[in-house]
Copies of this chain bind each other. A is one copy, B any other.
Amino acid sequence: MAAWSERLAGVRGVLLDISGVLHDSGEGGGVPIPGSVEALARLKRSQLKVRFCTNESQKSRGDLVGLLRHMGFDISEGEVTAPAPATCLILKERGLRPHLLIHDGIRSEFAQIDTSNPNCVVIADAGESFSYQNMNKAFQVLMELDNPVLISLGKGRYYKETSGLMLDVGAYTKALEYACGIKAEVVGKPAPGYFQSALQEMGVESHEAIMIGDDIVGDVGGAQRCGMRALQVRTGKFRFSIYLTLTCVHGMRPSDEHHPEVKADGYVDNLAEAVDLLLQYAHQ
């Protein structure tokens, strides 16, 4: 691999994933990843532009930012690209009235949306609300539509909470896709339009931007397909992938650093190391 100086040259803007980079989510909001509060503060004092790009779909943007600020992170609502507000724009533009299969924590984001007589389904990381009854209701709504539209807030396979790995929205989206014979529209990483809107809001061109995340497909692969560079941190769900590398002999799950299709522009232990490198080598 080329030297860091070469890989990071010309970076002007940094997109940061939140869960697995700033903190590990979980009961009571989770815990900050060691060194990340200070690393973010240093990054924001630099000349680099910073924006947050998350697939969080259990909490409203306000609640998420409140939790992170409480942990000491320098972050405000206006700096966060999140899938629920992006979805609301799409629903309004297209005159869509959703049946919502979502977590109660994010329902407030849809307060201004007409949900009467639904003509689409919006699915987010509903957690415990992914009951059979709720899944079946969403399925039945889709099957009754002439033109079934399913909008999925991200397509993550799983994420790591302090208590362990948790199934993410992507798994349940696959279930509805298969049952209905349809394909969901994804709002969130790795959808190119989602990264592009985050770049636009940051005011940086893709070739001058770098994504930092813990998900090799959603963060790294998605950003690279938009012409950005991307670093993978060895925190969040990444740590579990390392464990898999060591234990997985016959399994079909590739380890992240040896993913068959996606190669990050660099691997770092955590956000603190990423910021060290960026402050040293970006802008060159």
Question: Cβ of B128 and Cβ of A251 under 8 Å apart?
Answer: no
Known pairs A158-B179, A174-B175, A175-B175; A167 contacts B135 (CB<8 A): yes
Query: A145 and B251: CB pair below 8 A?
Result: yes
B140 touches A181 (CB 8 A): no
Binds B, one of A22-30, A83-91, A190-198, A242-250: A242-250
Q: 1/0 per residue A149-190: CB within 8 Å of B? A: 000000001100000111110111011111111110000000
On chain A, the number of residues with a Cβ less than 8 Å from chain B's Cβ atoms is 47
* A147 contacts partner chain B, Cβ-Cβ < 8 Å: yes
CB of A165 within 8 A of CB of B143, answer yes
Whether, in the assembled complex, A253 has its beta carbon less than 8 Å from a beta carbon of chain B, the answer is: yes
Quote the shortest CB–CB distance from A158 to chain B (angstroms).
5
| Docked-complex contact B183 and A179, CB < 8 angstroms | no
Which chain B positions have C-beta within 8 A of A171? 135, 139, 175-176, 178-179
Partner of A167, one of B136, B168, B177, B252: B136
Residue of B nearest to A134 (CB): B132
* Residues 58-86 of A contacting B (Cβ, < 8 Å): none
Residues on the B chain within 8 Å of A147, using CB: 249-251
Chain B residues with CB under 8 Å of A166's CB are 136
A178 → chain B closest CB, angstroms: 4
Question: A133 and B139: CB pair below 8 A?
Answer: no
Footprint of B on A, CB under 8 Å? 126-133, 135-136, 139-140, 143, 145-148, 157-158, 164-168, 170-172, 174-183, 240, 244, 247-254
- Write the nearest CB–CB distance from A177 to chain B, whole angstroms: 8
Tell whether, in the assembled complex, residue A175 and residue B167 are in contact, meaning their CB atoms are under 8 Å apart.
yes
With both beta carbons as reference points, the residue of chain B lying nearest to A247 in the complex is identified as: B146
Q: How far is the CB of A101 from chain B (nearest CB, A)?
A: 12
A147 to B, closest residue via Cβ: B250
Which B-chain residue is minimally distant from A182 (CB atoms)?
A: B252
CB neighbours of A250 from chain B (8 A): 146-147
- 20 chain-A/chain-B pairs, Cβ below 8 angstroms: A128-B132, A130-B131, A130-B135, A131-B132, A135-B171, A139-B158, A139-B167, A139-B171, A140-B164, A143-B158, A143-B165, A146-B250, A148-B251, A157-B181, A168-B179, A174-B178, A181-B252, A181-B253, A182-B252, A182-B253
Tell me the smallest distance from the CB of A167 to a CB of chain B, in Å.
5
* Chain B residue at minimal CB-CB distance from A157: B179
A141 → chain B closest CB, angstroms = 11
A215 to chain B, nearest CB (A): 13
Q: Which residues of B contact A244 (CB under 8 A)?
A: 143
